[in-house]
Amino acid sequence: MIVVTGAAGFIGSALVWKLNQTGRDDILAVDSAGTGSKSRNLAGLRFADYCDRDDFLQRILSGGLDNEIETIFHLGATTSTTFSDAGFLRKNNFEYTKHLAQFAVRTGARFIYASSAATYGDGTSGYSDDERGIEKLCPLNMYGRSKHLFDLWALRHGLLEKIVGLKYFNVFGPNEYHKGDMRSMVCKGFEQARATGTIRLFKSHRPEYADGEQKRDFLYVKDAVEMTVFFHKHPEPAGIFNLGSGVANTWNTLARAIFAALELPARIEYIEMPRDLRDKYQYDTCAEISKLRRSGYEKPVTQFEQAVSDYVVNYLLGGKCLS
């Protein structure tokens, strides 16, 4: 049996979709009881059973699932970068992950968990996924710190020789509709372009970057789950791995790709960045994915404009989910 936590969420539901494509439906889908608007992400997907996240933890701690689980994909977490309850994040993102990792190591299950590119902070320490550099990283928000805390714990207890941590960069694509303000700019820019004919981007507050020329490593969710499933099919690699495209694209490129997919003229308005974001804003992120490639992952990453077009034309225009 395969377990996917956060199964009703963005990447979690896309992962269930990908596993279904590979012929697997012996999946225990785990998420919070009040999935709300996320529930539509699971419509049309195949899984053997559904379990509340707290009930699942109790079954793990009681030994009720010993020797039944082949792989745990642990994607469930509080992911808002503006969430400020440090105690809740520690319990939900750190302690919960510890329990699952210890269970997996004890029972021999494969453990693949979501770390985050937010652990890299402002990028001054680089974006290398070499575990020897983990202790130098300084996340900028509580979410990133909660993820970093588990990475450090796993490193110091020797678990990174047995488990896999995935640092997802800027993932976008279908099934993110429920995320509100945490949706990708592809999704929000699409809505702006359709409603007003204009996409609004933050001005730059660093002279070396023109407005809209700030860069991100954008990764299509279909590529993200393809990479994630690779570590299920190949049990040898262990440690921390960046999951990104390995290419940095600008916000201007993103906006123009949305307009092109909609067959609309490109109209971009640059607005002031909120002051509380300026000191935490990343101007140039790009995943180093050579370690992923060395692990044996050979598939090409979808070209950015092609990924945006697929998302806009085949999903956003019809409000469709992966199914």
Q: Which sequence positions are flagged as catalytic?
A: 143, 179
Q: What angle do CA 311, 38, 255 make, to 5 degrees?
A: 30
Q: Give the residue among 120, 264, 294 at the shortest CA–CA distance from 189.
A: 264
Please state whether beta strands 170-172 and 249-250 pair in parallel, antiparallel, or not at all (unpaired).
Answer: unpaired
What amino acid occupies position 85?
D
161 burial (CB, 10 Å; 0-12 / 13-18 / 19+) is exposed
What b-and-e string marks burial along 192-226, b requiring 16 or more CB atoms within 10 Å of the CB?
A: bbeeeeebebbebbeeeeebbbbbbbbbbbbbbbb
DSSP secondary structure string, 277-290?
A: HHTT--SB-----H
